[in-house]
Amino acid sequence: MENVTQALQGVPLNHYILLSAIIFAIGVIGVLIRRNAIVIFMSIELMLNAVNLLLTAFSVHHNDASGQIFVFFIMALAAAEVAVGLAIIVMIFRNTNSTDVNILNKLKW
């Protein structure tokens, strides 16, 4: 474990920040341009995982465990969100036979 921590600290912090920012941006772009509810959902998970990665990197950098605890909270709540979110998508699929968000246009002025 000691070696792993040292190896992780060998990588400059900026690289982690850059990597996480890029993954986060891919997630945001995915949410904005994809039209399938499940793919949008996966993009959101990508955003959350970018955050997890960055939190772990910061946690090692500061030598402080609270960042890693936060990662557990994010994972737990992301799992809860998946349960509810997939249920909602299944409910919509039952009514419309599609997971395309473009058909969701009933609510307009």
Residues binding other proteins (CB under 8 A): 13, 17, 24, 27-28, 31, 37, 40-41, 44, 47-48, 50-51, 54-55, 58, 61-62, 64, 66-67, 69-70, 73-74, 77, 80-81, 84-85, 87-89, 91-92, 95-96, 101, 104, 106-109
Residue 85's contacts (CB-CB under 8 Å, 6 or more residues apart) are 41
Report d(CA 54, CA 18) in Å as an integer. Answer: 9
Report d(CA 11, CA 52) in Å as an integer. Answer: 17
Nearest CB to other proteins, comparing residues 6 and 29: 29
Return the amino acid letter for 79. Answer: A
Residue 69 Cβ vs other proteins, minimum distance, rounded to whole Å: 8
